Amino acid sequence: MRWCRYHHDGTVAFGLLDGQNVDEVDGSPFDGYIVTGVRRRLADIRLLTPCLPPTFYCAGLNYKAHIEWGERRRNIRIPIPDRPDIGYRAQSALTAPDSPIVIPARSSGDVHYEGELVAVIGRPARRVTQDEALDYVLGYTIGNDVSERTWAAQDRTLWRAKNSDTFKPMGPWIQTGLDPTNLDVIVKVNDSIVSEFNTSAMIFGVAEYISTISEYITLRPGDVVWTGTDNATDRIAPGDVVEISVAGIGTLRNPVVGEPGCPPTNDRRMTDHD
Amino acid sequence: MRWCRYHHDGTVAFGLLDGQNVDEVDGSPFDGYIVTGVRRRLADIRLLTPCLPPTFYCAGLNYKAHIEWGERRRNIRIPIPDRPDIGYRAQSALTAPDSPIVIPARSSGDVHYEGELVAVIGRPARRVTQDEALDYVLGYTIGNDVSERTWAAQDRTLWRAKNSDTFKPMGPWIQTGLDPTNLDVIVKVNDSIVSEFNTSAMIFGVAEYISTISEYITLRPGDVVWTGTDNATDRIAPGDVVEISVAGIGTLRNPVVGEPGCPPTNDRRMTDHD
């Protein structure tokens, strides 16, 4: 099944995708639902983030090549985590498929994409083993963990760096029935591939994250776990279009715009290549 | 006005407190409401956390005596923040007035209270000045930022240390019309006063936190900003009762219990006094 959440004629609903059509439901995949019988064309609705997570978990560092890139870029030693590196992002930063990523006026311009697989929790999970953890996942979607690198170096909690308005595109929908351990992820900027990796390269998998969190915390329906990115990342600038594709799910696409006063486009892409 | 949120006969509602009675409303203080005409006795309902914040902001270090205590305890130098130290807590950790704080089985037992004033956002705030920031606050409530000090030293993001289940008691209600800049806060454990401070000692006030966050992020109705604690803190253990009172609001009271396997009560209160 492919769950979406959308806006149409002033109302918000969950729906089930069937090719280019969406069957509206009354309720949600988390609290129970009935199919209303209303069918719309995907082209006629506006997709929203496929859920609004009560708690928004993320992996900090979870891919080796991305850690090694960080070491080269910052000329520091970053240890490979010896246990899941669990953190949070903010619901306030979420933005929908096709909605713009906005470079803030005060940004240095050093704003990067980060393509990620996202697990969406389907039912309450407390003290679940790794073997059973994936049974608590409703399905998977795609996230872009947009990051302002200058602020990341300045702010202990990454609040602006990771959570400025529009910095967390998520979607386009939730795909059920996927195995998260072997999915190809492709990131494109303006139709050029800028990163390719497979989720098998995660240092700690989805099951280990969920099991570890659940030792201390009850995961709730609609919570999301973003699982980290691999490889080097690079700047995005006003005028760019970022597309993140995960095999079996689809493509999360977002254009990039700039607030008035943000650094001009042509100052970008001059650093951080290695 | 005094807003509460409660559970009665299988339903959850917002209500307006009038002495020992509660007038039920249809809707919420955030989205509009009508008073239904149903009046209940406060003694007959079960109070819940007065809101469920979409985004849960907190001050990291915001009182000088608490920072100095941290320096002595950990024998390190902790700089006074030169700008608001903005972070996040998790909705998953919230627990209601009178609900137990549960010491986790794996805890070292070094679990502390932290009494805090909490601002509840009433309407969307983006790029608001300090002068106008408090106009975006619906009112104030009380939080206990329960903290596992051993985990705080181990985990970069404080995820377990601050957000284990039940670690964020909040309530008992939201008081409107308060000036947050000069409120007495009293923390009691088992009827003994263990901390007293005034919110005038905040390094950065509520207005400055809201204005600073709003430069980058849209604060939404129902979001909360916890404002930090002052002074030394100390351990709580199964059997204790923690009460945090803020003048003009009321008292947030929570008993402490232990999960099976958590450290025995009599191992507590042996360190961290100074």
pLDDT of residue A263: 83
Cis-peptide into B264, omega within 30 deg: no
* Percentage with pLDDT > 70 across chain B: 96
pLDDT of residue A156: 87
> What CATH number does domain B1-48 carry, 3.40.50.720, 2.30.30.370, 2.40.128.30, 1.10.357.10?
2.30.30.370
**Which chain A residue has its CA at the smallest distance from B124's CA?**
A92
pLDDT above 50: residue B158: yes
Alpha-helical (H) ranges within B12-103 are: 64-74
Chain B residue numbers with beta carbons less than 8 Å from the beta carbon of A101 are: none
- What is the distance in angstroms between the Cα of B5 and the nearest Cα belonging to chain A? 18
Q: How far apart are CA B125 and CA A180, in angstroms?
A: 38
- Report DSSP state, residue B209: H
Q: How far apart are CA A246 and CA A184, in angstroms?
A: 6
Chain A residue numbers with beta carbons less than 8 Å from the beta carbon of B126 are: 165
Q: Where are the domains of chain B?
A: 1-48, 49-267
Measured in Å, how far apart are chain B's first and last C-alpha atoms?
40
Q: Do B86 and A159 touch (CB under 8 A)?
A: yes
pLDDT of residue A265: 65
Q: How far apart are CA B177 and CA B170, in angstroms?
A: 19
Q: How far apart are CA A242 and CA A256, in angstroms?
A: 8
In the three-class reduction of DSSP (H, G, I as helix; E, B as strand; rest coil), residue A85 is classed as coil
- What is the distance in angstroms between the Cα of B126 and the nearest Cα belonging to chain A? 10
Q: Do B92 and A54 touch (CB under 8 A)?
A: yes
**Mutation for testing the B interface, residue in A61, A106, A216, A217 having most B CBs under 10 Å:** A216
* Percentage with pLDDT > 90 across chain B: 93
Chain A residue numbers with beta carbons less than 8 Å from the beta carbon of B160 are: 216-217
- B61 closest CA partner among B139, B147, B3: B147
Based on its alpha-carbon atoms, the radius of gyration of chain B, rounded to whole angstroms, reads 18
**Structural tokens at position B12:** 């959850």
Per-block mean pLDDT, blocks of 10 residues, chain A (274 long): 96 96 98 97 97 97 96 94 96 98 96 98 98 98 98 93 98 98 98 98 98 98 98 97 98 96 63 40
- What is the interface pTM, i.e. ipTM, of the complex? 0.94
DSSP-assigned letters across all residues of A152-198 = HHH-TT-HHHHHSTT-EEEEEEEE-S--TTS-EEEEEETTEEEEEEE
Q: Do B54 and A159 touch (CB under 8 A)?
A: no
Q: H or E segment at B186?
A: strand B184-189
Give the global pTM: 0.95
**Structural tokens at position B162:** 């601050």
What's the mean per-residue pLDDT of chain B?
Answer: 95
pLDDT of residue B265: 65
pLDDT above 50: residue B132: yes
pLDDT above 60: residue B65: yes
> What CATH number does domain A49-267 carry, 3.40.50.12160, 1.10.3720.10, 3.40.50.300, 3.90.850.10?
3.90.850.10
Residue type, B213: I
Q: How far apart are CA A264 and CA B225, in angstroms?
A: 34
Chain A residue numbers with beta carbons less than 8 Å from the beta carbon of B156 are: 60, 85, 87
Chain A residue numbers with beta carbons less than 8 Å from the beta carbon of B216 are: 104, 106, 159-160, 163-165
- Say what the alpha-carbon torsion angle B212, B132, B185, B74 is, to the nearest 10 degrees: 10
Nearest to A216 among B52, B104, B157 (CB): B104
Measured in Å, how far apart are chain A's first and last C-alpha atoms?
41
Chain A residue numbers with beta carbons less than 8 Å from the beta carbon of B159 are: 86-88, 213, 216-217
